[in-house]
Amino acid sequence: MKITDVKVAVIGDHPVVRVITDEGIDGIGGVESPRNQTFFKPQIEYYKNLILGLDPTDVERVLLHIRRAGGFKPWGSGVSAIEIALWDIAGKALNAPVYKLLGGKIRDKVRVYNGNYRKGFEGYTPEAFAENMKWMKNLPQNFSIIKQGIAFHGSPMLKQMPDFQYGEYVEADKYGNRGVMTEKGFNITVDAVIAMKEVLGDEVGLALDCGPGMTASDTLRLAQALEPYHLMWMEDTITGDYTPYVHPEYFLQVTPYTSTPIHTGEQIYLRHGFKDLIEQHAVDVVGPDPMDVGGISELKWIAEFADLHNIQMAPHGTVDGLIGLAAHVHVGAAMPQNFIAFELPDGKPSWWWDILEGIDAYEVKDSHIVVNDTPGLGISFRIEEAKQYLSEEDTGFFDG
């Protein structure tokens, strides 16, 4: 079997790749990427010319041709999308679900948390956070873990609280706001977390997405203040989320001095970026995104390495789309026992649920998705339904 073409399209809000072979088997992959990241198409075109003619079922050999050309989020997305499509092909060719090719499953259902299932709200106040948490607790997925953005991860709310930090807050996409929290900002944040936990009780775990942008001292002060509330983790406090470096020494000013778990990793590309974080025990939880880190086998390797060091795994996945949802379930089934849950993505717009065959098997019930045995990722495009959503420049996506 040989790769004959790699096609790319943006369908709704999700860039998608399709790897085509000379034996009539194709594979699909996607990225952790909003639609406006127009670099994705030329990136895939560049990679395509490096892998044409290779056997797609030799996944690692193919990746050796393109892996070095990726980078920190979002520049690893193209490599990740192709890797996932290759596993899809391999599974179909061998008539096996992808999780079997990753070593087999150790769990029959995979835990998820709310991820893309959230809504915005007005005001950086404890009352607003509590009301929002009531809404999320009552979602039909019955999430056992809910994550909420606070501090520098709460940009829309912080617009209404100019005295949250010392310094001007700039509202701009991907702008790295950072700084020292005011006493008022700190106290309201603590009160907001307490208000959310009063809603959730001990039935639902609460995770916090905090930045990046907090100082190490503010992170430690907040983590220690919240120790009585048994948080799942505090995520991306100092670095993370589009930050092209890791700085484990910053987290080492925090993690050893609090019982609140510290989490980071969604922006990191490849296992190499996790080496120091894990070996130095700089964090308690790592959260690579399979659509950024280099794919699902890369994610599994990191999970195993973390497990050797008693570090937990909670993968990122907010905007991975429905192809990402399937990929998460397969790798989640095969990861070691340090796996906690992955962040649940969704298809945007909602008609994405109508253009994929097999996606109904990925329904969430009581915060879990049952692992299915359909070959490959277990999903495929309903081509005639999907064609109506292709742009004029992408009309040939399903050809070949």
Query: What gap in Å lies between CA 55 and CA 22, rounded to an integer?
Result: 10
Question: Residue 384: what pLDDT?
Answer: 97
Which tokens hold the place of 154?
């709460």
- Whole-structure pTM value: 0.97
pLDDT at 109 over 90: yes
pLDDT tens-digit readout, 69-96: 999 999 999 999 999 999 999 999 999 9
Give the other-Cβ count within 10 Å of 38's Cβ. 10
CATH number at 18 reads 3.30.390.10
- Angstrom CA distances, 329 to 69, 99, 102, 112, 375, stand at 27, 8, 12, 9, 13
- Residue 399 located in a structural domain: no
pLDDT band at 35 (very low <50, low <70, confident <90, very high): low
**The tokens of 7 are what?**
């096609």
Bridge-partner residues for 206, per DSSP? Answer: 146
pLDDT-based confidence at residue 62 (cuts at 50, 70, 90) = very high
pLDDT, tens digit (0-9, with 9 covering 90-100), for 333-386: 999 999 999 999 999 999 999 999 999 999 999 999 999 999 999 999 999 999
Residue 9 β-bridge partners:
16
Instruction: Return the H-helix or E-strand segment holding 233.
Output: strand 233-235
pLDDT at 220 over 70: yes
Cβ contact 332:110 at 8 Å: yes
Question: 279 with 388, same domain?
Answer: no
* Same-domain check for residues 335 and 275: yes
295 residue type, one letter: G
Residues 75 and 109 reside in one and the same domain: no
Angle between helices 321-334 and 77-94 (to 10 degrees): 70
173 and 189 within one domain? yes
Helices 77-94 and 296-308: angle between axes, nearest 10 degrees: 100
**What is the CB neighbour count within 10 angstroms for residue 96?**
16
User: Which range (77-86, 112-121, 205-214, 292-301) has the least confidence?
Assistant: 112-121
In the prediction, which pLDDT does 156 show? 62
| Alpha helix (H) residue ranges in the chain | 40-51, 59-63, 77-94, 98-101, 126-137, 155-158, 183-200, 216-225, 248-251, 275-279, 296-308, 321-334, 383-387
State residue 36's pLDDT score.
61
Is there a single domain that holds both residue 58 and residue 181?
no
Both 147 and 256 in a single domain? yes
| Domain assignment of residue 400, yes or no | no
Question: Is residue 188 within 8 Å of residue 125, measured between CB atoms?
Answer: yes
Strands 109-113, 145-149: pairing kind: unpaired
Q: Are residues 304 and 157 in the same domain?
A: yes
The CATH code of the domain that includes 160 is 3.20.20.120
pLDDT value, residue 354 = 98
Question: Residue 183 domain-assigned?
Answer: yes
Q: Domain total for the chain? A: 2
Its domain, for residue 28, covers: 3-96+382-394
Position 183 scores a pLDDT of 97
Same domain, residue pair 210 and 329: yes
Shared domain check, 50 and 150: no
Q: Is 67 a domain residue?
A: yes
Q: Is the domain of 359 the same as that of 235?
A: yes
pLDDT band at 131 (very low <50, low <70, confident <90, very high): very high
